[in-house]
Amino acid sequence: MIRLLLADDEELLRGALCSLLDLENDLQVVAQAATTTDTVRLAAQHRPDVAVLDLEMPPTDGLHAAAQILAGADGTPPRIIIVTRHARPAVLRRALAAGVSGFVPKSTPAARLAQIVRDVAVGHRYVDPEIAASALTENECPLSDRELEVLRAARTGAQVSEIAAAVHLAPGTVRNYLSSAMAKLGVATRHAAAHRAWEEGWI
């Protein structure tokens, strides 16, 4: 019997997946969570074999939760499967770096999930083939850490002075980073750059 932890902030999806997976008679959902904090707590408490985590979850995100679970486990940590709607190569890279075993976009047929869970439970890794292919062909994120940082701060439409305060840099420096990020992305405004970087899964 494979013991599962299911984490997703959307009750509808989590509930539907729960009953779907519980139908399989070698799978058992032992805990459910809607937040990353609950996820980490319940993983430590129930020690599931496999944790299926949505990437987009408050208050942080699935990757943070995965890292915490893997770091905090004494003994063998659970295998972790990340499920996401925002399935971009860059996100896949970050997920694999965090040590997750499975990466599944929400465009995967529901029927296949149970099999992926079984594969991962016995130690295999599963990565959506489509995204894996993109990750191998698409170019890396061209932006530096600082550039990503200022773009993150620019996402809500803030002015330079606000961004500068948020990242603890001089306003002029922020403008330089924004400028180089825009040049790298081939766009004309910081906001277009932030939008683009977000779409690509870089921030």
Whole-angstrom distance, CA of residue 72 vs CA of residue 178: 37
3-state secondary structure of 1: coil
Choice from 175, 184, 195, 196 touching DNA (CB under 7 A): 175
> For residues 143 and 184, is the Cβ–Cβ distance under 8 A?
yes
Complex with its own copies: residue 68 or 163, whichever CB lies closer:
163
- Whether omega for the bond prior to residue 59 falls within 30 degrees of 0, making it cis, is yes
- Residue 152 Cα to chain centre, angstroms: 16
User: If binding is defined by CB under 7 A, does position 79 make contact with DNA?
Assistant: no
User: Out of 148, 180, 195, 200, which residue is the one contacting its own copies (CB under 8 A)?
Assistant: 195
Residue 115 interacts, among DNA, its own copies, none and using kind-specific CB cut-offs from 5 to 8 Å, with: none
Q: Which stretch binds DNA (CB under 7 A): 57-65, 97-105, 132-140, 181-189?
A: 181-189
Decide: residue 109, CB within 10 A, 0-12 exposed, 13-18 middle, 19+ buried: exposed
Q: Which of 130, 144, 156, 199 binds DNA (CB under 7 A)?
A: 144
> Does residue number 179 form part of the binding site for its own copies (CB under 8 A)?
no
Q: Are 141 and 90 in contact (CB under 8 A)?
A: yes
Site string for its own copies, 93-132 (x = CB under 8 A): -----------x-xxxxxx-x-------------------
CB of 1 to its own copies, least distance (A): 21
Interaction of residue 17 with its own copies, rule CB under 8 A: yes
Residue 148 sits in the site that holds its own copies (CB under 8 A):
no
Question: Amino acid identity of 167?
Answer: V
Strand order, beta sheet including 2-7? 27-33, 2-7, 50-54, 79-84, 102-105, 126-127
Nearer to DNA, 16 or 192 (CB): 192
List, in sequence order, every beta strand (DSSP E) within the chain. Answer: 2-7, 27-33, 50-54, 79-84, 102-105, 126-127
Footprint on this chain of its own copies (rule: CB under 8 A): 9-20, 23, 83, 85, 104, 106-111, 113, 155-159, 187-196
Interface positions with DNA (CB under 7 A): 144, 146, 159-161, 169-173, 175-176, 178-179, 182-183, 188-191
